[in-house]
Structure 1
């Protein structure tokens, strides 16, 4: 198939591109490099299946129109977005424009050209998990940050195109994803930052008390879920979760990575009002409809990520 991946130079995006290429598709990438990096795609440069990498903005309607006319896509994996909760609180307008308005512009092109959209949302739209059964897709949502609010608004637009136009769309909500190619600086995820600091002999700083939990999904499991969601008609018009199905406190995560409790420090939370105390995924729907379940344990995922950070000299 001809496939477009917005945000394809990003952390999860490059793994989605890799999987699509391995499956034999023709892949176009659109990315403004605000979160992604061109060198994330370097290893695919010689592959005939990677048709074009376009450096551009999803809010550029002229560029979108040209790209969709040229590409004749069958699926658009829409991963391009502002993804940082703290940034969304400090600058809500940028997040809203990228995540909601930008999604609308991509949707319009998908509608005009009859292209299926797989929309990458987030577990951060959910209210806290109250039990050990995990968060299902019918769990209450809570826009605790402008990031979550913008994603919920975009989700509703995506699903409205399914109901109003019969356009194939699906909303996917992966839980906190980590692994190789994630940034290890302030814009990265907690796992990558902790590993880099541990390898460098630095302290691991935890916001607040560290009792908040996260369900951590290894990036290759996430990419397999994202790509599979595009292949299946069973989930058109649906919202589907993906996660490990196991949560861990940030304190325990730090201990697992640091192997030295003296290196763990607690610092004041920047935006405690947007913290979700417990995140735990119930992925039964993905298992039932897509035959998907995670294959990489947290311990194995951390081992692979540590090795990648060490050999990439990112300490």
Structure 2
């Protein structure tokens, strides 16, 4: 799998090992870190290779005819960075995906391509976004991820390569970054523990569908190995959303200040994210298991123990 030392990747590795798989991970450690997978170092069924997914031959060196599947998680994921430097996102997210698909085509290896809910058009999403919802990428990050999906679909239709495209909604949990490149739940929780103000960009009425990372990892593995999911695009969400204002209130301790600040990339802000996971439930029997309140508490405990 690619992106194995990243936030979500680390949890997918854990899920795969729990299910008895041998995992050959690839990561260039630009977003991921050895710390994320340190507990697997002594595991006899895990090996991490440090390398760039966009370099020809790197992925193919990890695959052979006996490989059961390739889960492709490696990506540049920073919206603001993509607006400042779109080329880096194209190189990793599009060229890197082409390298993965070619390596999988050569070995006839099924692919679980992890995309993003950010590819959707956010207009008229009151009822929840399902997989038939129109796409409209609002940043080079989202555009490069949609391009990667289209490329993967072409390998499914053109070469009959078993490909499944996965679109998890906002994932949070332990091992997620707590700086600007992290997710809002991790940022807020870490700042609350540090006694710092929780800063909300804009008016805070924007909403997110927040999925705990173990639920996302289980979804990715279930979908990648499902015959019913081949050739499909599948969402993973919770079916409910929360405003950033309400999220801040949920996380903030009694003495923590909540501030509203000017948005740093308002042109690509998503006002409402609410996922419809009915297809995942029908095809995979998947549904989220961890509530937002429980997930925040698990994250809080982990941050305290890891500091």
- TM-score range, shorter-chain basis? over 0.9
Say if 2:251 is the partner of 1:257: yes
Say if 2:7 is the partner of 1:11: yes
Contact 2:82 2:89 in 1 (8 A): yes
Match of 2:262 among 250, 254, 268: 268
Contact 2:195 2:256 in 1 (8 A): no
Deviation larger for 209-218 or 38-47: 38-47
Aligned equivalent of 2:27? 31
Aligned equivalent of 1:186? 180
Tell me the distance in 1 between the aligned counterparts of 2:244 and 2:301. Answer: 21
Aligned equivalent of 1:62? 57
Match of 2:191 among 197, 200, 210: 197
How far off its partner does 1:140 sit?
Answer: 1.1
In angstroms, what is the RMSD of aligned CA positions?
Answer: 1.2
For the residue of structure 1 that corresponds to 2:153, the secondary structure is helix
Aligned equivalent of 2:221? 227
Aligned equivalent of 2:210? 216
Encode CA deviations 1:29-58: one digit per residue, 9 max, x unaligned.
0000011011211111222111x2100000
Tell me the distance in 1 between the aligned counterparts of 2:237 and 2:60. Answer: 34
For the residue of structure 2 that corresponds to 1:245, the secondary structure is coil
Aligned equivalent of 2:41? 45
For the residue of structure 2 that corresponds to 1:305, the secondary structure is helix
Aligned equivalent of 2:17? 21
Match of 2:300 among 292, 302, 306: 306
Aligned equivalent of 1:241? 235
Instruction: Extract unaligned runs of 5+ from structure 1.
Output: none
Give the TM-score, by structure 1 length.
0.95
Aligned length: 307
Deviation larger for 148-157 or 40-49: 40-49
User: Aligned runs of 1:135-146 on 2, under 5 Å?
Assistant: 135-146=129-140
For the residue of structure 2 that corresponds to 1:6, the secondary structure is coil
